[in-house]
Amino acid sequence: MLIKKPSDISPSEITPRETYRDRRRFMQQMAGLGLGGVLMGATGTAVAGYGGKPLNFTPSTKYRVDEKPTPYEDVTTYNNFYEFGTDKASPARRAHTLEPRPWSVVVEGACAKPGRYDLEEILKPHPLEERIYRFRCVEGWSMVIPWVGFPLGDMLKRFEPTAAAKYVVFETLYDPEQFPNQRGRVLDWPYLEGLRMDEAMHPLSLMVVGLYGEVLPNQNGAPMRLMVPWKYGFKSIKSIAKIRFVEEMPTSTWMRANSREYGFYSNVNPRVDHPRWSQQSERRIGEWGRRKTLMFNGYGDEVAHLYSGMDLRKFF
C-alpha cells in the first residue's frame, strides 16, 4: 500500500511545512547530481493526500535524462492549466479551489471492466517510480522534471480493453466550482485528449501522481495527470476524471480549437513548424539562450517505430 487515505495519517506523520521545504531543496540538489534515487528511496514515507506530501517510490534507473532538473519553483509556478486562466502564473495562484480528494475516475467504452473507480482503488496496485523526463511545450519552452508515477499501460490493462479499442480518450474533470475558468469559453470544456492504443501502452507513457518526490501540486494536474514525453505538452492532460476506449480517432480540445495548428499526434518535431512559429529550438526554463529541439524530444530510439511509414507532416 503506497498511498494512505488522509484519515489514515496520524498527526505524528504530518511533517511541518519547514521540513518539507528543506527536504525539497535537498532532493533538488540530489536530482541535479543524479543521486536522487539512492537517497530518496531511503527517505520515503507513505503519506499522501495533498500537494507537497512526500511519496514512497523507487527511482527508475532506465528513465532519467542526464540533464539538470528545472528548479521546483519554476515547475510549480510557470504552468499551463487553462481551467485556472491562460497566463502562466494563474494556475499556482488560483488552483487552491481544486479538491483532489476524494476523487473518482469513470472508465467507459470498449473494455470489459467499465465503471466508476475511487482514486485510491485505482492507484493501489501500482508501485510508484521516479523518472526524469524532458518536457517540451508547443509554445517553445521546455523543462526537465522528476515525475513520480507508473506506466499508463499497466493501469489501462486492468480495464481489459477489447479489440475494438483503437484509441483511448482522457477527460479533465468538469466542475466550474473547482475549475473557475470553465465558466468562460476560452476552450471547449472539459479538456479532452487522446492517444492511439499503442502509444498509450508504450512504456514511456506515464500516469503521474507526483513530482520532486511529493504529491502532485494542484497546478500541475492533481490528483493524476498524463506525461507523454515525446509529444508536445498539451497532450499531457491534467486532473483526469474520465478514461474512454474508442474505435475512432478522437478530436482533442486543441484540434477543435484550431485544427490547422494542432493535430492529433503532436509529436515533438523540429522539422515541422507551427504555422505561426518555428519548432527548431526551445528555451529551457532557467537557462539563457536556446537549445536545439530534438526529434521526438530526444526519445526517438524508443518511439520512432510507432510511426514508421507515416508522413509526419501530414500526421502532425
Ligand X SMILES: Nc1nc2c(c(=O)[nH]1)N[C@H]1C(S)=C(S)[C@@H](COP(=O)(O)O)O[C@H]1N2
Output the residue with the shortest Cβ distance to ligand X: 233
236 belongs to the binding site for ligand X (CB under 6 A) = yes
Residue among 113, 116, 104 nearest 161 (CA): 113
Burial (CB count within 10 angstroms: exposed 0-12, middle 13-18, buried 19+), residue 15: middle
75 belongs to the binding site for Mo ion (CB under 5 A) = no
Closest to ligand X by CB, 80 or 297? 80
Considering only residues 171 to 190 of the shown chain, the ones binding ligand X according to CB under 6 A are: 172
Q: Which does 84 bind (CB under 5 to 8 A by kind): Mo ion, ligand X, none?
A: none
Rg (CA), the chain: 19
233 belongs to the binding site for ligand X (CB under 6 A) = yes
Is it true that the peptide bond before 217 is cis, omega within 30 degrees of 0? no
| Position among 122, 137, 173, 204 found at the interface with Mo ion (CB under 5 A) | 137
293 belongs to the binding site for ligand X (CB under 6 A) = no
191 belongs to the binding site for ligand X (CB under 6 A) = yes
At 247 the three-state DSSP class reads coil
Q: Which does 49 bind (CB under 5 to 8 A by kind): Mo ion, ligand X, none?
A: none
Q: Are strands 281-284 and 141-151 parallel, antiparallel or unpaired?
A: parallel
Contact 151, 206 (CB under 8 A): yes
| Position among 63, 234, 254, 264 found at the interface with Mo ion (CB under 5 A) | 234
Residue 39: count other Cβ atoms within 10 Å of its Cβ: 16
Contact 22, 66 (CB under 8 A): no
| Position among 142, 220, 293, 297 found at the interface with ligand X (CB under 6 A) | 220
Residue 233 CB, nearest approach to Mo ion (Å)? 4
CA–CA distance, 297 with 316 (Å, rounded to integer): 14
237 belongs to the binding site for ligand X (CB under 6 A) = yes
Residues in the site for Mo ion, rule: CB under 5 A?
80, 137, 233-234
